[in-house]
Amino acid sequence: MPSPQKTPATSPAPLRRESLADRLIREIDRGLRTVAAANVASRPFPGQDAPETVHDPAARRHAAALMRVNHAGEIAAQALYHGQALTARNPAVREQMLAAAREETDHLAWCEKRVLELDSRTSLLAPVWYAGSFAIGMLAGLSGDRTSLGFVEETEKQVVEHLDSHLEHLPADDERSRRTVAQMKADEDKHADDARANGALGLPRPVRALMRRTAAIMTRTAYHV
């Protein structure tokens, strides 16, 4: 009786290496989801235990506008980190950028929640903030990992100053917004510390000044639009 024929063993197909085009398509998808979909926080909303106290219409509009600015800043932060991760050379630096971006997603969700609670909307220019910041992040990453980390450190230092200003200008009794901004500030401080600990290079003064001017334009615009 003839023996049954054996089926030859087949080796698993080799995994296709991800191309730059693949990564860019993934980033476009990520950007679309960031600006168009509802973002979900992994941590509780910091102001959840505080009652709503802002009832004056003018105070509500002002608080909402400040939180809209913060939301726009978080859109930009997502884009910066993703752009820097895309062009990072060191896998550890890339993972640091992606981990910070995941934490910034909490900020994005918190700010959006607070803006909606105040009967307002997020910035209509969110796609512009994302696209421009993503390009800047890519350029920062291409300049080298230590320079890119320096960009993170300087960005976060300026963001902390900006959040300090918002804590001064938010309605004094708006604990829901104030607790949110305070937690965001603590997270941004940590991002700056992490970048410095990992070898961030200081940026030249003209670059720091340009970053401040760019942030000021975005802040003034997002307050209204």
Q: Rounded CA gap, 83 and 105, in Å?
A: 15
Phi, psi of 37 (to 5 degrees): -105, 160
pTM over 0.75: yes
Range of the domain at 119: 55-224
Distances (CA, A) of 143 to 4, 73, 139: 63, 23, 6
Answer whether 192's CB lies under 8 Å from 152's CB. yes
Copy the structure tokens of residue 10: 């087949």
The residue that leads in pLDDT, 28 or 47, is: 47
Per the domain annotation, does 7 fall within a domain? no
Per the domain annotation, does 133 fall within a domain? yes
Per the domain annotation, does 26 fall within a domain? no
Q: Report the percent of the chain where pLDDT is more than 70.
A: 88
Q: What is the CATH number of the domain that holds 69?
A: 1.20.1260.10
Three-state secondary structure along the chain? CCCCCCCCCCCCCCCCCCCHHHHHHHHHHHHHHHHHCCCCCCCCCCCCCCCCCCCCHHHHHHHHHHHHHHHHHHHHHHHHHHHHHHHCCCHHHHHHHHHHHHHHHHHHHHHHHHHHHCCCCCCCCHHHHHHHHHHHHHHHHHCCHHHHHHHHHHHHHHHHHHHHHHHHHCCCCCHHHHHHHHHHHHHHHHHHHHHHHCCCCCCCHHHHHHHHHHHHHHHHHHHHC
Per the domain annotation, does 4 fall within a domain? no
Region 20-42 average pLDDT: 74
Q: What confidence tens digit (pLDDT) does each residue in 52-88 have? A: 999 999 999 999 999 999 999 999 999 999 999 999 9
Per the domain annotation, does 19 fall within a domain? no
- Please name which of 116, 136, 32, 18 lies closest in space to residue 71, comparing C-alpha atoms: 116
Per the domain annotation, does 9 fall within a domain? no
Give how many domains the chain has, as a whole number. Answer: 1
